[in-house]
Chain A
Amino acid sequence: MIRHLLKLTWNRKRSNFLIMLEIFFAFLVLYVVTTLGVFYVDNYNKPLGFSYENVWSIVMDTQQQSIAPQQKIEKTQQLLLALKSFDEVEEVGGMFILPFSAPDYNNNYRINGRKVSVHINTVTDELKDVLDLKITRGRWFEKSDEAAKANLVVINESLSKELFGDQDPIGKPLFEVGPGEKEKIVVGVIAEFRKNGELAPLTNYFFERASMYDTVNFTLPSQLVIKLRPGTTAQFEEKLVTRLQNTVGEWSYEVESLAEAHRSHLLFYLTPLIVLGIIAAFLILGVSLGLIGVIWQNVTARANEIGLRRAAGATLTHIFTQILLELLLIASLGMLLGVLLVMQFPLLGIIDFISAKVYMTALVISVVFIYLVAIICGLYPSWLATKVQPTEALHAE
C-alpha cells in the first residue's frame, strides 16, 4: 500500500511541490529552533559551578586614561577596607571578567597538534568564598602564593580532562611556554565555572591569580564581587555607594546584583530562540493551512477516486488511512531534502559546539513534530473522506 501511495504522491509531485517546499523551509527553521532549544536544555541540566545568591558586583571606573599602579593599589586597598567595615558584607573578591557580563576573554592554544579553546579569568584569593567555587582536586589560591615564581592557575575539570586526560594535573605546567615567559602551574581543579550562565555551553576555563600588590604585571582587577549576608535588601546599595564615594571620591561605581545580571543575561540567550520560535510558528501555521488545503482538495477533487476505491473493496478505515498516509508521505518528501541538508552540518563542522546527542535529539523532535502537525491537519479531512458516498462519487455527470 505504501508503495502504491508513494507512486501516487510522487506522480502528483507537481501539484504537491509548493507544499513540499513549504515543509522543507518550515523543517529547516524548526530544526534550528529545536537544536537551540535542546542545546539549552542540555546545558541547563549541567551544574553552573558557582553560586550568585546575595552576590553583588561593583564596577569601578577610575575616570582617568592611565593611573599609576601604585596609586590604584592604594586606593583599592582603601575601598576594600571600607567595604569590609560593613556588617552586611561577608567577603570581597576581585575579578577581571564578571559572571553574566558581556565581555569574555578566550584564547586558542595549539596543544599536541590540537586546537584547544580556553577561557581565562584573573581573580583574587577571596573569589572562591564569594562565589562558593567547588574545589575537586588540589587547592585554591592563597596569600602565600604571592611569593611564587610561576604563575599559578586553577583550572576546571573540562580543561583538566582536555589537557591531562586521566592524569593528575596538580603541579604540572599548563602548557609549554615560550622562552622568557612565566610558566603556568596548576595548583587546583574546580568542578566548573560557567561564566555565561546555565544556557551557555561548557567551556575550558582557568583562573590566574590576581595579585593585589603586583606593580609589574599589574593584575589588580577593577571589578569587585561582594558576598552579602543573607537578607540584605536592595536599599543597601545606596549606603554602599555613598561610602565608596566618601572613601575614593574621584572614582565612580556601578553596583548590580548578580541575580539581576543573571536574569538579563538569560534573556540575551533566550531572545534568538524566541524570535526563531515565532518565525517557526508562523511557518508551521502556513504549512498547516497548506496541508489542510491539499487534503481538502484531495477529498473533493478526488471524490471519484475515493468512490472507485470503495467499489474495489476499500473499507472506511482504508480510505481514512490512505488520506492520512498520503499526507505523511508528502511531509516525508518535503522533509527528506531538509534532513539530507541537515545531515551535512556535522560533516561540515559548522556546529562543532553542539554534541551529537543534541543534534540527533533535535532532528528526531523536528521530524516527529512535523509528522504530528501533518496528522493533526489530516484527521478531519480524512474523516470527511470516509463520508464520500461511492454512488454519488461515481455518478456520471
Chain B
Amino acid sequence: MIQLENIEKVYRTDTLETVALSGINLSIRKGEFVSIMGPSGSGKSTLLNIIGLLDVATGGKVSLNEKVVSSHKDRDLANLRNRELGFIFQKFHLINDLRAIDNVEIPLLYRNMSYKERRKMAEEALEKVGLISRTSHFPSQLSGGQQQRVAIARAIVGKPKILLADEPTGNLDSQMSDEIMNILKELNQQEQTTVIMVTHDKRMADMTDRIIRIFDGRQVA
C-alpha cells in the first residue's frame, strides 16, 4: 500500500547540511499497524511527513496504492492527503475558536459536500471516539485526552485508509494514552485502517504489529 524506495532527506542551508534521512526502504501493507521508534532527532517526524505527503524527499520514490506520487503537484497531493490520509499530532492542533464538531468537519470542507452530510459524518466520527456528548464544546473545555480524541475524530472523519500519528500520546498521561491506543487499535482491527505511529513509548510500540527503528536518519530494523 505504501512503498518508500531509497528515501533521502537533506536540509541544506548556506553553511550547513543536515541529513535527516537516508537510504530508507519501506513497505507497509494495507491494514498493518506499524510503529516508528528512535531517539530524538533521528528523523521519525521527517519520515512520517514524507509518507504523509506533507513534505517532499530530496531523493527516492514514494508510492501510494502502487502509484508514484513523489512528483505530484500541490493540488493532487492535497487531494490525496484529503481522501487517503489522516493525521494525528502530539499537540492535537485543534482550532481553539471552533467547537469540537466544527474542528472535526475540517477535512470535509475540502470535498464537495453539503453542510448536512458534513455534520452527519462529523457526528459519526465523534461517536466513534466516544465524544458524541461533547460536540459543542470548545477545545479549552475539554481534557487533553478528550482533545486528542477530537483530533482523532478529525483524522478519521473522511474515512481515510491510512492514519499517521506523530507521538499521539506524547502529551498524555498513561491512562489517557491507553484510551487513545485502544481507539487506534479498534480502527485498525475493525475498519482495516493502516496505522503508522511514531512513539517514544516502548509499551505502546509493543502493541503494534511491527516496529521500525530509526537511528540517525537510517533504518536499523
For window 306-336 of A, CB contacts with B under 8 Å fall at 307-318
Interface residue B173 (Cβ < 8 Å from any Cβ of A): no
| Distance of A390 Cα from B164 Cα, bound (Å) | 15
A11 within 8 A of B: yes
Q: Which residues of B contact A395 (CB under 8 A)?
A: 45
Interface centre among A7, A312, A315, by most chain B C-beta atoms within 10 angstroms, is A312
Report how far A311 CA is from B90 CA in the complex, Å: 14
Number of A-B contacts (CB under 8 A): 79
Give the interface segment out of B27-35, B79-87, B204-212: B79-87
Name the B residues within 8 Å of A391 (CB-CB).
45-46, 49, 54-55
Task: Report how many residues on chain B are interfacial, defined by Cβ distance under 8 Å.
Answer: 34
Q: Is A34 positioned at the interface, with any CB of B under 8 Å from its CB? A: no
Q: Which residue of A lies closest to B53 (CB)?
A: A311
Q: Is B98 an interface residue, CB under 8 A from the partner?
A: yes
Cα-based distance from A315 to B83 in the complex (angstroms):
13
- B-contact 0/1 string along A378-397, CB 8 Å cutoff: 00000000000011001110
Residue numbers in A under 8 Å from B59 (CB-CB): none
Tell me the minimal C-beta distance from B55 to chain A in angstroms: 5
* B75 x A313 contact (CB < 8 A): no
Once bound together, how far apart are the Cα atoms of A309 and B98, in whole Å? 13
Say how far B103's CB is from chain A's closest CB, in angstroms.
9
| Cross-chain contact A312 with B98 (CB below 8 angstroms) | no
Looking at the assembled complex, report how far the CB atom of B78 sits from the nearest CB atom of chain A, in whole angstroms: 4
- Interface of A, helix, strand, loop or mixed by DSSP: helix
**8 Å CB contacts to A: which residues of B84-124?**
87, 89-91, 93, 95, 97-99, 102, 105-107, 109-111, 115
| Max chain B Cβ within 10 angstroms of own Cβ: one of A4, A12, A308 | A308
CB pair A3–B95 under 8 Å, yes or no, is no
Q: Which of A3, A12, A307, A317 contacts B97 (CB 8 A)?
A: A12
Give the docked Cα–Cα distance between A258 and B197 (Å).
88
Q: Is the CB of A313 within 8 A of B52?
A: no
What distance in Å separates the Cβ of B51 from its nearest Cβ neighbour in chain A? 12
**Nearest Cβ in chain B — how far from A119, in angstroms?**
59
Assembly CA distance A1 to B111 (angstroms): 10
Query: Would A315 and B78 count as touching, CB distance under 8 A?
Result: yes
Beyond A11-B97, A11-B98, A396-B91, whether A312 also contacts B54 by CB under 8 A is no
Residue ranges of B at the interface with A (Cβ–Cβ < 8 Å): 45-46, 49, 52, 54-55, 74-75, 78-79, 81-83, 87, 89-91, 93, 95, 97-99, 102, 105-107, 109-111, 115, 154, 158, 167, 170
- Other CB < 8 Å A-B pairs besides A4-B109, A314-B110, A396-B90, 7 of them? A11-B97, A307-B93, A310-B78, A311-B52, A313-B82, A313-B107, A314-B109
